[in-house]
Chains A and B, each alone.
Chain A
């Protein structure tokens, strides 16, 4: 590796006292990747983790993967596109897009914009770039990992890099791409880069993949499968964030107390429906907890009309409490 591995002691000092154990364990990593089934709230959870890290005084970079500015939208800040911008003090955002990442990679290697253009515009080269799409994934992953190693003023430029990763299948491919391509391409400059990338992704001291899920049947199924696939791929895992859990507010005996008349019937039906959903959450949650060998961090359903910065803040506080509770739970376990 060209750059030194970040100094472990310095990192601990920066975390400061009072950081919950599970959060510290998670935030002790340099790279946290959030993935899961489509629509489970990966972006919201990633944004919430970013706010939480920021509250802890960490300089944090949130990477979207060709996401089109979801994170800045959630945080209520203007999108900076493929450039790293400081969205909030200490919180940076970037949308990693393959084409731009390719140019950046080229610049790093060739040190001349004119030559990069000449190479990328070369029609044979363009053809091959299209034919070898894993190259797009390599440079995408490469850019993210570059930021993990990036130095500024003698220390890492970012304490923590968060990735709002694509959904399950695509994310697995992305995480595996350095190793996959290493097995395919012959010796050459690309291989050298792939080696350090693969090493970083496999290092549990630096990297953790968090699975985001919903307390519903299909997301839970997919979570269990994804965890198995990550384990098989020897990709280090962090926790599972179980998002949008509904609270149960009534006991089964309470609802019949309301009269069965014209006024109360729609109310009873609404409460029945909401409680049924809470029950289903509880059932699916139990299935997840019993089937998954990862700590499960409960996140409540943040019920707002517009899911914006405020909602992300409240999700972020809940994540903090959840990580706390998870740590407490783990310590309490014999």
Chain B
């Protein structure tokens, strides 16, 4: 944001960004202050676009502004830990040392506090099971089940669910001003948004309940009570997967019984939290064609679900090239003494490449502009973001106070 403009209210900002041509203007209207009123920020986006860096720098930026912020990451991002001055990121919140924060603030005494943690999703699932099981025996029976490990790893959306469930816990049990969640790289946008629904579907399925209830009383699953219907279908299923597989799976479902209600309540609360006024989504992309395609899809799905997208960050954008007109370049080159003969062609090739990169990026970004999606551009760095200073610079650039 340019310094000579008076600060604007968030509401007016939103008003403005609707009127103005999005894109370049979004940089001027600043993306990040629109996050200000939200306590939870979920960073989503395709894989490999820099979500973790964005999440960490947003949290750092908030801490430097005097807030108490937490960044949760899912990837075993050792680098994130080390760049924050932590030896290891565990499943518990760890505070970033004040001197490290001061480094980011350019030596000034930090006004806020920054915490970081890494979500261990397997542990999170174990916690969920422990919370909702009716007895230690039931809990242990579930832990020991051979399907459990697979399911906690593989139920579509289960990783995502464990992440948002943890987010819920952190947002209700702690006093952070801002919690930033770095989401796992999802193959598909829906996996994340749909996670509570799917897990609910899995655990609180009318069909399952009514099918298993008679079996519960009988204590054993028989296919007559499972209600598969005609013998023809049962035979079909048996040729498909084998009945034994289903029988064992049904046994596993039985071991989960009684957890439905508590779970359902919590999942509904998690859903409400994500759609509520406290939460917003930060969509990260790069100007790569596939990444932009996925980002557009994410954006559409978030909108469809009525979820609030506070900011879109276009990361690793190439800056415009300093490339003069070819004729002017040739004339100027001729006046420089001591250049090797092939210098001109090499220089042209490099400048041409640089220009192509910029043009290609802008062409992709115009797809966001066409959809009237405001976004913040963050330039590609020469080096990866390695320490708190670089993270702070990244945060500053995102906030629009660009160097």
Q: Which A residues are closer than 8 A to B by beta carbons?
A: 37-40, 43, 66, 70, 105-106, 109-110, 115-116, 118-119, 122-128, 130-137, 166-167, 169-170, 173, 180, 183-191, 216-219, 221, 249-250, 254, 257-259, 263-271, 273-277, 280, 303-307
- Give which listed residue, B47, B226, B228, B321, contacts A38 with CB less than 8 A: B47
Contact in complex: B249, A39 (CB < 8 Å) = no
- Give which listed residue, A109, A119, A271, contacts B233 with CB less than 8 A: A119
Within the assembled complex, what's the spacing in Å between the Cα atoms of A27 and B350? 35
- Give which listed residue, B151, B249, B332, contacts A263 with CB less than 8 A: B332
Stretch at the interface among B17-25, B56-64, B111-119, B283-291: B283-291
Contact in complex: A216, B154 (CB < 8 Å) = no
Within the assembled complex, what's the spacing in Å between the Cα atoms of A133 and B188? 15
Q: Which of B237-257 contact A (CB under 8 A)?
A: 237-246, 248-250, 253
Contact in complex: B232, A115 (CB < 8 Å) = yes
Contact in complex: A180, B150 (CB < 8 Å) = yes
Contact in complex: B46, A188 (CB < 8 Å) = no
Closest chain-A Cβ to B49's Cβ sits at a distance in Å of 7
Contact in complex: B242, A305 (CB < 8 Å) = no
Find the B residue at minimum CB distance from A271: B350
- Give which listed residue, A70, A166, A259, contacts B290 with CB less than 8 A: A70
Contact in complex: B384, A189 (CB < 8 Å) = no
Q: Which residues of A contact B351 (CB under 8 A)?
A: 267, 270-271
Identify whether the interface residues of B are mostly helix, strand, loop, or mixed: helix
Within the assembled complex, what's the spacing in Å between the Cα atoms of A326 and B48? 27
Contact in complex: A218, B384 (CB < 8 Å) = yes
Given contacts A270-B351, A274-B353, contact A122 B384 (CB under 8 A): no
Within the assembled complex, what's the spacing in Å between the Cα atoms of A125 and B233? 10
Find the A residue at minimum CB distance from B211: A124
Contact in complex: A110, B240 (CB < 8 Å) = yes
Stretch at the interface among B134-142, B161-169, B338-346, B390-398: B338-346
Within the assembled complex, what's the spacing in Å between the Cα atoms of A123 and B212? 13
Does B229 interact with chain A (Cβ within 8 Å)?
yes
Given contacts A110-B239, A125-B237, A257-B339, contact A184 B146 (CB under 8 A): yes
Does B155 interact with chain A (Cβ within 8 Å)?
yes
Q: Which residues of A contact B291 (CB under 8 A)?
A: 39
Contact in complex: A305, B356 (CB < 8 Å) = yes
Closest chain-A Cβ to B162's Cβ sits at a distance in Å of 15
Contact in complex: A270, B323 (CB < 8 Å) = yes
Contact in complex: A128, B154 (CB < 8 Å) = no
Within the assembled complex, what's the spacing in Å between the Cα atoms of A271 and B329? 14
What are 30 A-B residue pairs whose CB atoms fall within 8 Å in the complex?
A: A37-B48, A38-B47, A39-B48, A39-B286, A39-B291, A118-B236, A119-B236, A128-B249, A130-B201, A130-B202, A131-B151, A132-B249, A133-B154, A166-B187, A183-B146, A185-B244, A186-B248, A188-B242, A190-B241, A217-B79, A264-B332, A266-B323, A267-B322, A268-B322, A270-B354, A271-B351, A273-B382, A274-B350, A303-B357, A305-B363
Within the assembled complex, what's the spacing in Å between the Cα atoms of A273 and B382? 7
Contact in complex: A216, B207 (CB < 8 Å) = no
Q: Which residues of B contact A271 (CB under 8 A)?
A: 347, 350-351
Contact in complex: A124, B322 (CB < 8 Å) = no
Contact in complex: B349, A249 (CB < 8 Å) = yes
Contact in complex: B47, A270 (CB < 8 Å) = no
- Give which listed residue, B245, B343, B349, contacts A190 with CB less than 8 A: B245
Closest chain-A Cβ to B107's Cβ sits at a distance in Å of 27
Contact in complex: A134, B48 (CB < 8 Å) = no
Q: Which of B371-399 contact A (CB under 8 A)?
A: 382-384
Find the B residue at minimum CB distance from A106: B240
Identify whether the interface residues of A are mostly helix, strand, loop, or mixed: helix
Q: Which residues of A contact B329 (CB under 8 A)?
A: 267
Find the A residue at minimum CB distance from B256: A131
Find the A residue at minimum CB distance from B355: A270
Closest chain-A Cβ to B37's Cβ sits at a distance in Å of 31
Contact in complex: A122, B229 (CB < 8 Å) = yes
Closest chain-B Cβ to A201's Cβ sits at a distance in Å of 18
Given contacts A39-B291, A118-B233, contact A249 B350 (CB under 8 A): yes
Within the assembled complex, what's the spacing in Å between the Cα atoms of A106 and B154? 22
Contact in complex: B246, A128 (CB < 8 Å) = yes
Closest chain-A Cβ to B286's Cβ sits at a distance in Å of 7
Q: Which residues of B contact A305 (CB under 8 A)?
A: 356, 359-360, 363
Q: Which residues of B contact A131 (CB under 8 A)?
A: 151, 155, 202, 249, 253
Given contacts A184-B147, A267-B351, A305-B356, contact A66 B187 (CB under 8 A): yes
Q: Which residues of B contact A270 (CB under 8 A)?
A: 321-323, 350-351, 354
Closest chain-A Cβ to B247's Cβ sits at a distance in Å of 8
Contact in complex: B227, A109 (CB < 8 Å) = no
Closest chain-A Cβ to B189's Cβ sits at a distance in Å of 11
Does B205 interact with chain A (Cβ within 8 Å)?
yes
Find the B residue at minimum CB distance from A181: B150
Contact in complex: A186, B332 (CB < 8 Å) = no
Within the assembled complex, what's the spacing in Å between the Cα atoms of A187 and B338? 79
- Give which listed residue, A124, A264, A306, contacts B227 with CB less than 8 A: A124
Does B324 interact with chain A (Cβ within 8 Å)?
yes
Within the assembled complex, what's the spacing in Å between the Cα atoms of A105 and B236? 12
Q: Which of B156-175 contact A (CB under 8 A)?
A: 156
Closest chain-B Cβ to A98's Cβ sits at a distance in Å of 10
- Give which listed residue, A119, A137, A264, A265, contacts B240 with CB less than 8 A: A119
Contact in complex: B347, A267 (CB < 8 Å) = yes
CB 8 Å contact bits of B24-47 with A (1 = contact, 0 = none): 000000000000000000000011
Interface centre among A131, A265, A275, A305 (most CB of B within 10 A): A131
Find the A residue at minimum CB distance from B386: A217
Closest chain-A Cβ to B301's Cβ sits at a distance in Å of 14
Does B336 interact with chain A (Cβ within 8 Å)?
yes
- Closest CB pairs A-B (n = 8): A38-B47, A188-B242, A266-B322, A39-B48, A38-B48, A186-B244, A270-B322, A249-B346
Closest chain-B Cβ to A110's Cβ sits at a distance in Å of 5
Contact in complex: B322, A265 (CB < 8 Å) = yes
Closest chain-A Cβ to B330's Cβ sits at a distance in Å of 13
Closest chain-B Cβ to A302's Cβ sits at a distance in Å of 10
Find the A residue at minimum CB distance from B333: A258
Q: Which residues of B contact A133 (CB under 8 A)?
A: 154-156
Does B185 interact with chain A (Cβ within 8 Å)?
yes
Contact in complex: B290, A280 (CB < 8 Å) = no
Q: Which residues of B contact A258 (CB under 8 A)?
A: 336
